[in-house]
Structure 1
Amino acid sequence: MLKDFLKQTSNKYIGMKQVYQHIHHQGPLTKPQLMELTKMKQTTITRYLEELAELQLIKFSKYDASTGGRPPAMFEIQPSGGFIIGVDLSRIHTEIVLFDLLFTPIEQCSFPMTKQHTPQVTIGQIVDQIQIIIKKHNISNQQLLGIGLGTVGPIDRENGTIINPRYFHAPGWEEVAIVKALQEHFALRIRIDNGANTAVLGEYKRMKAAKEQTILYCISGRGLRCGVLHQGQIIQNKIGDASAFGEMILHAASPVNMEHNQTLSQFISLETLKEKVNQQLDRGEIDSSEELLQRLNEGDPFVKEVVLESAYYYGIGIANMINIISPDRIILNSPILKVFPAYYEKVVETAKAYIYRLDRHPGNFEMGSEDENAVSLGAAVMVFNSFFE
């Protein structure tokens, strides 16, 4: 079984795990490609491949294009060798996804985060849904590698605690020991990180990116969360808060009125946009972020004007991040993007106008997709990667 194999720590298994990991991230791969990646001898690679195949952890995939002589065989991961649960816990919804070892979604479900979704209610629903999925697919504890959580911060990763996030509809989201609560129901490896961090890890895995690439992933909505990945590793801050980018000050007040500083999040959050629209509407007020998005989707000219103005400030904030980080890829994800593509265009246009040395560090802008399970995918990848640390 894969779980037993991944727990082995002898030198023999360290080498086999290295081969397995390369096939997992970049496969299908040929024997010569694995020799180049691992710097191992052909006899060693051959022995490891035979043992991995005997354990049913890899399989023969196809033959690579021949340059003369017998075409080289290619090897890939056996996707049914194990499973991982990825959870995306946000202020808007919670999503639970079962992935196979190629991180293909096998089953997924979600529920909205309402005023009734206190930590106790939310954790209860997560437990129930995971148990339903496991039973439906007849997955044993030995087959399930673990559960990954991508959630709102700040968090204490070491103790598995959500500390004191803002903007949840329900009360009680302070010092929530969510990992401990889940471990009372599942004797599994459980890992937690900010949703923006797991999202950028998910994108890295999805595109099989080169390790040298730096990726910036931004999720905006009720706030702003950003994840950065460099050299295949998430860049984490000590306080476990991916919302720190949103605290970037875009408008500084005088030294005697510092409380009037305006941050990037204050310019672009759905709550701020709703309040700004309501201040100037001469008709019924907008009651929720969902109604704001609906008005935007229907083409309300005033709502569009307010949102496009915020896109300008978002672009400036993104440019500041790019000037410091110099990412190769910049991925933007927001419910606004789904209903108003002009918002994305304005953000990118503004960012490019403020990027220092755009000619040297242009970066590739991309729009994230809600259908890609980036947060839950990255949470599952986090669990998988933990076996190789």
Structure 2
Amino acid sequence: MSINKTPTNRVYTYIAQRGVVSRAELMKEFSMTSSSMTRLLEEMIADNKLQESGRGSSTGGRRPILYETNPTYGYLFGLEISRIYSSMGLYDMHMNRLSSIRWKMDESMTPHVFMKRVHSAVRKFVQEHDLQPSSIVGMGVGAVGPLDRERGLILDPVYFPAQGWHNLPICELLEAQLGFPVLLDNGANTALVGEHWALRSEHYQHMLYVHVGAGLRSAVMSNGQLVYGATDMEGAIGRMIIQAGNLSQPGSPIDGALESFVSVHAIENEVRELAAAGSLALRGETGSGNGEALSFELLLEALSAGEPIVREKFKQAAAYLGIGLANLINVLHPEKVILGGALINAHESVFETAVEVARSHTYYYPQYKPLFSKGLLKEEAVAVGAAVMVLKQLP
């Protein structure tokens, strides 16, 4: 959801991203007269949005006053809604995490139960930090898609263990319970916003984020702004065709789409078939009915124990991921590529193999070398980015 940004909002966001700035820097950036900028800064200080932060170095005259945002002006919630785990954090205006909580998304976690958990956690955090309800600026939600961001709807998510998550007016329901504004975007976008915020001192403008878990999700940033399409694009990377398969049956497991080879479910399915055929024996049953998190945990145990067939399946998935990444890199030319999700974090070899294959298929390499990383925020990226999304839309 986007808004018409006021001069106050633009200046506030700029200062928040830079940390500490001088009036001269702001005037240069926003082409405002000295009197207009002075008046705007005085108003923002009077509203407690900004505070003075000492003085800068002298360039011949008086040392300039430096400004920064006031961390206690307000407080933000960031909420991640995902397939295996969901989480929520409370942050001040400098994005310092004050409290956080995590929930397992099992068969019992219907929207009704989930809303009660969120409501209870919000009240607990507010009481623990002795906050006034009026100081809560809002909540950002990074959710599994597809979504209708403008209407605040979670449309038709797949692989959710619990029922009731289809066509869910998540923003309306949360606002009714919590009493403050709620903004929605897909989790890949908010993760990229969070990582971009964490890396703001390095001034990256072109970034790619790919999350590899129960499914594949991606987000793209160009010139410092998220790239949106005509529809929610979060899961589009999973439909990238990397192998000509059964093209007469789009959406089938053998249609050549990347997600057919690279996801938690893809590996689980392959291992189940091997186990059923007697080619593999694991402790417990991978399809035990205890949910995808349990079966994936069994795979992780086998991977850590060095089970050759399981290790090969993870390596194969990582190699296919590398091909998908190379395709995106050759089209988008990002400066930095951030990889996250359960599959990436399963074993260091997954990340290393994916990066190696991606680099070996990158056009103009080694003259063009995008940087690869697991990010700074890792599992907290979605929630942090959701909170940053609210901060950036502060009126």
| TM-score computed with the length of structure 2 as normaliser | 0.89
Please report how far the alpha carbon of residue 372 of structure 1 lies from its aligned counterpart in structure 2 after TM superposition.
5.6
Which is worse superposed, 18-27 or 68-77?
Answer: 68-77
The equivalent of 2:48 in structure 1 is 56
In the alignment, the residues of structure 2 paired with residue 292 and residue 200 of structure 1 have an alpha-carbon distance, to the nearest angstrom, of 28
Report the secondary structure of 1:56's partner residue. coil
Please report how far the alpha carbon of residue 265 of structure 1 lies from its aligned counterpart in structure 2 after TM superposition.
1.1
Name the CA shift for 1:272/1:246 in 2 (closer, same or farther; >3 Å). Answer: same
Report the secondary structure of 1:148's partner residue. strand
The answer (yes or no) to whether the contact 1:216–1:329 under 8 Å persists in 2 is yes
1:173-218 deviations in whole A, cap 9, x for unaligned? 2111111111221222111110001111111222216777111111
Residue 317 of structure 2 aligns with an amino acid whose one-letter code is: S
Structure 1 residue 86 corresponds to structure 2 residue 78: yes
The equivalent of 1:245 in structure 2 is 237
The equivalent of 1:226 in structure 2 is 218
In the alignment, the residues of structure 2 paired with residue 315 and residue 144 of structure 1 have an alpha-carbon distance, to the nearest angstrom, of 42
In the alignment, the residues of structure 2 paired with residue 234 and residue 356 of structure 1 have an alpha-carbon distance, to the nearest angstrom, of 24
Structure 1 residue 269 corresponds to structure 2 residue 263: yes
Name the CA shift for 1:38/1:31 in 2 (closer, same or farther; >3 Å). Answer: same
The answer (yes or no) to whether the contact 1:212–1:230 under 8 Å persists in 2 is no
1:71-91 deviations in whole A, cap 9, x for unaligned? 333211110000111101100
The equivalent of 1:47 in structure 2 is 39
Name the CA shift for 1:82/1:250 in 2 (closer, same or farther; >3 Å). Answer: same
1:268-295 deviations in whole A, cap 9, x for unaligned? 1112112223333432443411211222
Structure 1 residue 26 corresponds to structure 2 residue 33: no
The equivalent of 2:299 in structure 1 is 292
The answer (yes or no) to whether the contact 1:155–1:241 under 8 Å persists in 2 is no
Name the CA shift for 1:302/1:103 in 2 (closer, same or farther; >3 Å). Answer: same
Name the CA shift for 1:262/1:14 in 2 (closer, same or farther; >3 Å). Answer: closer
Which is worse superposed, 339-348 or 130-139?
Answer: 130-139
In the alignment, the residues of structure 1 paired with residue 61 and residue 346 of structure 2 have an alpha-carbon distance, to the nearest angstrom, of 54
Task: Give the structure with the larger helix fraction.
Answer: 1
Q: 1:283 aligns with which of 281, 284, 290?
A: 281
Cα RMSD, aligned residues only: 2.3
Residue 270 of structure 2 aligns with an amino acid whose one-letter code is: K
Work out the percentage of aligned pairs sharing the same amino acid: 31
Please report how far the alpha carbon of residue 142 of structure 1 lies from its aligned counterpart in structure 2 after TM superposition.
2.0
In the alignment, the residues of structure 2 paired with residue 15 and residue 133 of structure 1 have an alpha-carbon distance, to the nearest angstrom, of 32
In the alignment, the residues of structure 1 paired with residue 159 and residue 249 of structure 2 have an alpha-carbon distance, to the nearest angstrom, of 25
Which is worse superposed, 72-81 or 206-215?
Answer: 206-215
Name the CA shift for 1:126/1:257 in 2 (closer, same or farther; >3 Å). Answer: closer
Gaps of 5+ in 1: 1-6
The equivalent of 1:301 in structure 2 is 308
In the alignment, the residues of structure 2 paired with residue 63 and residue 250 of structure 1 have an alpha-carbon distance, to the nearest angstrom, of 56
Which structure 2 residues correspond to residues 77-226 of structure 1 after superposition, within 5 A?
A: 77-208=69-200, 213-226=205-218
The equivalent of 1:3 in structure 2 is none
Q: How many residues align structurally?
A: 378
Higher RCO by CA contacts (8 Å cutoff, separation 6 or greater): 2
Gaps of 5+ in 2: 288-294
Report the secondary structure of 1:251's partner residue. coil
Please report how far the alpha carbon of residue 266 of structure 1 lies from its aligned counterpart in structure 2 after TM superposition.
1.4
The answer (yes or no) to whether the contact 1:193–1:240 under 8 Å persists in 2 is no
Please report how far the alpha carbon of residue 68 of structure 1 lies from its aligned counterpart in structure 2 after TM superposition.
4.8
The equivalent of 1:4 in structure 2 is none
